């Protein structure tokens, strides 16, 4: 079970990282195209006019994918920010109660958000909503990645809730305290 | 429920959730959902999904992970050592010495990054260990870092100025140009305070490094030149109208990779590490933006910000009194909301009032950003404080205390901008004259 869950978080994070790489590659291709045109213009040649179609929209979609697929990894890596001031001031027993409380609230919120994000994606699919650009992309695809990322986020929060209830330290605590590495 | 009760309820809910240790982004979302649930008969979940989708699905926002990634790559190129080796010999005669590297480093990095959190994190991760190693006063090291880290908001390219420009239909290029002089002025104020402090507290300053001849200094600075070229390239391409911020950021990523390859620090491990960290950090910031967008929509439903602004408008103040009240209002609001939400929330509400008072909209944008910068270093939701908490392990109240003198310098900056509006308006006017 542990292996399956870690594999899930890892795979989601790799997808997020791949999405960032694709943004960089597409945008850089567009810039190179413009540089080539500028050089052509210097020699009095007509511009080649290389264009990555619908780049702005695609980059926006990839950003959504990258951000939501990274949720679980960023939670477990301790990158998600929270106020630890109150926790630090609490006695041990109360801190454990607070930890369980925020994990319950977090998991419930993530599950709730997942449900409505999935609904948004299903509605877009049902009404066949497309993006406006030259390349019409069905909106349900990036929206499905938003929902998927939220689902994995909810699982990661439940994972840590189970750990907290069993009296084990949550995954993010290891990196949160010595967060100098992370941020 | 009347507005006062609902405001107190929501504020209390947010405070309890934050204090219990709920992640900031999620706390903003819960407060937003509660406000929608209490005030309007619309399904909160559906509003949340469409709002977040609409606010994150953005070409301009794609600059965020790219600028963070660029910082992560540069961080792994021994930029810290280069920055110190390069800047340190020139700071020797200045009272405050290497503390100024913090401020200048932030100002330089702010010129390639639109985010104060990224600026603080990148420069701090480089400078704090170096300053500690050389025995500099920790209060000053952390305070100057937190203060000058906020320069990322003012010195172009600035994400928050883009947001303001879009919300108020002002030229983003003019806003960028308007931010240049106030940004440099703020850096000068920070350096001035640091110099005065170190002249008064000579005993708490470590020994100066030995003097280095000029030719050798330039030789030591040589490794900074590629980075300066990178900065000039990234800013120049935006200023020259050749690239949008997202494009400039991607060019920055590619050039940083090239730089990293030439200095022999690029490996499979550092590449993946940088990318993973960029992914996690930008995910954190994007989730907070998502939470803020939910809260923003919810606040719009409740009408709380409108009522607050109306209340201020009804008092019939002079422009100076108005600005004094607004400054206080924004700083208080900044204790609970992040800068981008403040700008979006108030731009449409406050603006008619600002225009009626005869204030310039471009000028008001610069003023607003400086005030938002101040809110970046006030607890409990001060972004830079969180970043430094992450860097040093000191809790945010302690960091806020160390930052207080620099907060006061920012109040001086706001006063100067109010008294001499030309500080912000002169450069854009010369741009128009051409």
* Minimum mean pLDDT range among A23-32, A92-101, B34-43, B301-310: B301-310
Q: What is the pLDDT of residues B179-193, one digit of tens each?
A: 888 998 999 999 999
B236, B279, B294: which to substitute to probe chain A, counting the most A Cβ within 10 Å? Answer: B279
Residue ranges of B 363-392 with Cβ closer than 8 A to chain A:
380, 386-387, 389-392
* Minimum mean pLDDT range among B145-149, B156-160, B342-346: B342-346
Query: CB neighbours of B368 closer than 8 A, spacing ≥ 6?
Result: B164, B330, B342, B343, B346
Query: CB neighbours of B68 closer than 8 A, spacing ≥ 6?
Result: B115, B118, B278, B281, B282, B285
User: What residues pair up with A76 in beta bridges, in sequence order?
Assistant: none
The Cα-based distances of B284 to A80, B117, B157, B247, B256 in angstroms read 5, 11, 21, 22, 23
Q: Counting runs of H as helices and runs of E as strands, what totals does chain A give? A: 7, 0
CB B22 within 8 A of CB A106: yes
> What does the alpha-carbon distance between residue B119 and residue A125 come to, in Å, rounded to a whole number?
41
Q: What is the pLDDT of residue A183?
A: 31
Q: How confident is the model at residue B350 (pLDDT cuts 50, 70, 90)?
A: low
Q: How confident is the model at residue B113 (pLDDT cuts 50, 70, 90)?
A: low
User: Nearest-CA distance from A64 to chain B in Å?
Assistant: 6
Q: In this model, does residue B126 exceed pLDDT 80?
A: no
> What does the alpha-carbon distance between residue A120 and residue A139 come to, in Å, rounded to a whole number?
10
Q: How confident is the model at residue B293 (pLDDT cuts 50, 70, 90)?
A: confident
Selecting from B21, B277, B380 the residue whose C-beta is nearest the C-beta of A87 gives B21
Average pLDDT, chain B: 81
Peptide bond into B380 cis (omega under 30): yes
> What does the alpha-carbon distance between residue B312 and residue B303 come to, in Å, rounded to a whole number?
14
More confident residue, B119 or B25: B25
Q: Is residue A27 left, alpha or beta, with left meaning phi > 0 and alpha meaning psi from -120 to 50?
A: alpha
Q: What is the largest CA-CA distance in chain B?
A: 73
Q: How confident is the model at residue A101 (pLDDT cuts 50, 70, 90)?
A: very high
Q: Taking CA atoms, what residue in A is nearest to B14?
A: A83
Cross-chain residue pair A16–B279, CB shorter than 8 Å: yes
Q: In this model, does residue B208 exceed pLDDT 80?
A: no
| B242 in contact with chain A, both atoms CB, cutoff 8 A | yes
Please state the pTM of the whole predicted model: 0.79
> What does the alpha-carbon distance between residue A142 and residue B20 come to, in Å, rounded to a whole number?
33
CB B102 within 8 A of CB B146: no
Vertex B175, ends B169 and B179: CA angle to 5°?
155
Determine the distance from the C-alpha atom of residue B294 to the mean position of all C-alpha atoms in its chain, rounded to a whole number: 21
**Quick one: tokens of B239?**
């200023």
Q: In this model, does residue B92 exceed pLDDT 70?
A: yes
Q: What is the pLDDT of residues B250-290, one digit of tens each?
A: 988 999 899 889 888 889 999 999 999 889 988 987 887 78
Q: Name which of B144, B159, B57 is nearest B110 in CA terms.
A: B159
Q: Which residues of B touch A74 (CB under 8 A)?
A: 279-281, 283-284, 287
Q: In this model, does residue B167 exceed pLDDT 80?
A: no
How many C-beta neighbours within 10 Å does residue B258 have?
14
Q: How confident is the model at residue A70 (pLDDT cuts 50, 70, 90)?
A: very high
Q: What is the pLDDT of residues A127-145, one digit of tens each?
A: 988 888 888 899 999 999 9
Q: What is the pLDDT of residue A162?
A: 94
More confident residue, B394 or B112: B394
Peptide bond into B157 cis (omega under 30): yes
Q: In this model, does residue B341 exceed pLDDT 80?
A: no
CB A18 within 8 A of CB B65: no
Please state the rounded mean pLDDT for residues B344-364.
71
Q: What is the pLDDT of residue A179?
A: 35
Q: In chain B, pLDDT over 90 holds for what percent of residues? A: 16
Q: In chain B, pLDDT over 70 holds for what percent of residues? A: 85
CB B113 within 8 A of CB B65: no
User: What residues pair up with B288 in beta bridges, in sequence order?
Assistant: none
ipTM of the complex: 0.92
CB B361 within 8 A of CB B161: no
**H or E segment at A54?**
none
């Amino acid at each position: 079970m542990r292996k399956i869950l870690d594999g899930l978080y890892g795979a989601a994070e790799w997808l997020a990282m791949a999405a960032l790489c694709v943004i960089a590659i597409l945008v850089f291709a567009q810039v190179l195209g413009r540089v080539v045109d500028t050089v052509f213009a210097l020699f009095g040649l007509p511009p080649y006019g290389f264009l990555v179609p619908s780049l702005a929209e695609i980059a926006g979609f990839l950003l959504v994918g990258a951000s939501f697929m990274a949720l679980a990894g960023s939670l477990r890596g301790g990158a998600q920010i929270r106020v630890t001031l109150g926790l630090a001031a609490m006695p041990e027993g109360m801190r454990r109660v607070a930890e369980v409380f925020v994990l319950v609230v977090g998991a419930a919120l993530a599950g709730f958000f997942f449900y409505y994000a999935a609904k948004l994606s299903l509605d877009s699919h049902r009404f066949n909503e497309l993006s406006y650009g030259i390349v019409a992309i069905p909106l349900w695809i990036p929206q499905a990645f938003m929902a998927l990322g939220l689902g994995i986020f909810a699982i990661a929060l439940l994972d840590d809730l189970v750990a907290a209830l069993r009296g084990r330290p949550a995954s993010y605590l290891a990196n949160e305290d010595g967060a100098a590495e992370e941020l | 429920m009347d507005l006062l009760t609902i405001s107190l309820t929501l504020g209390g809910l947010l405070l309890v959730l934050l204090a219990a240790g709920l992640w900031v982004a999620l706390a903003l979302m819960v407060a937003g959902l509660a406000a929608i649930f209490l005030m309007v008969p619309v399904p909160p979940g559906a509003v949340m999904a469409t709002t977040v989708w609409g606010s994150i699905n953005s070409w301009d926002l794609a600059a965020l992970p790219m600028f963070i990634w660029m910082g992560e790559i540069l961080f792994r190129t021994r930029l810290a050592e280069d920055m110190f080796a390069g800047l340190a010999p020139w700071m020797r005669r200045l009272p405050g010495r290497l503390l100024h590297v913090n401020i200048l480093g932030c100002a330089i990095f702010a010129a390639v990054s639109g985010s104060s959190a990224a600026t603080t994190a990148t420069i701090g991760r480089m400078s704090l260990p170096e300053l500690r190693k050389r025995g500099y006063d920790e209060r000053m090291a952390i305070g100057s870092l937190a203060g000058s880290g906020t320069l990322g908001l003012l010195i172009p390219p600035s994400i928050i100025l883009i947001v303001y420009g879009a919300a108020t239909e002002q030229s983003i290029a003019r806003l960028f140009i308007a931010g240049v002089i106030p940004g440099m002025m703020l850096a000068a104020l920070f350096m001035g305070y640091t110099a005065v402090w170190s002249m008064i507290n000579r005993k708490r300053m470590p020994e100066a490094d030995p003097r280095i001849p000029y030719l050798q200094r330039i030789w030591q600075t040589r490794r900074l030149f590629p980075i300066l070229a990178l900065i000039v390239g990234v800013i120049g391409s935006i200023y020259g109208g050749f690239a949008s911020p997202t494009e400039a950021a991607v060019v920055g990523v590619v050039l940083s990779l090239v730089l990293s390859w030439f200095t022999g620090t690029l490996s499979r491990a550092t590449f993946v590490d940088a990318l993973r960290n960029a992914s996690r950090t930008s995910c954190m910031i994007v989730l907070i933006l998502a939470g803020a967008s939910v809260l923003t929509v919810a606040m719009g439903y409740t009408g709380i910000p409108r009522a607050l602004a109306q209340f201020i408008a009804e008092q019939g103040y002079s422009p100076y009194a108005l600005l004094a009240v607004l400054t206080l209002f924004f700083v208080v609001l900044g204790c609970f909301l992040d800068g981008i939400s403040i700008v979006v929330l108030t731009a449409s509400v406050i603006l008619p009032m600002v225009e009626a008072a005869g204030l310039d909209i471009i000028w008001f944008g610069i003023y607003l950003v400086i005030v938002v910068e101040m809110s970046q270093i006030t607890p409990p939701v001060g972004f830079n404080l969180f970043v430094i908490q992450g860097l040093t392990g000191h809790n945010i109240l302690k960091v806020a205390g160390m930052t207080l003198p620099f907060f006061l310098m920012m109040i001086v900056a706001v006063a100067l901008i109010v008294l001499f509006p030309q500080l912000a308006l002169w450069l854009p006017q010369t741009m128009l004259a051409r």
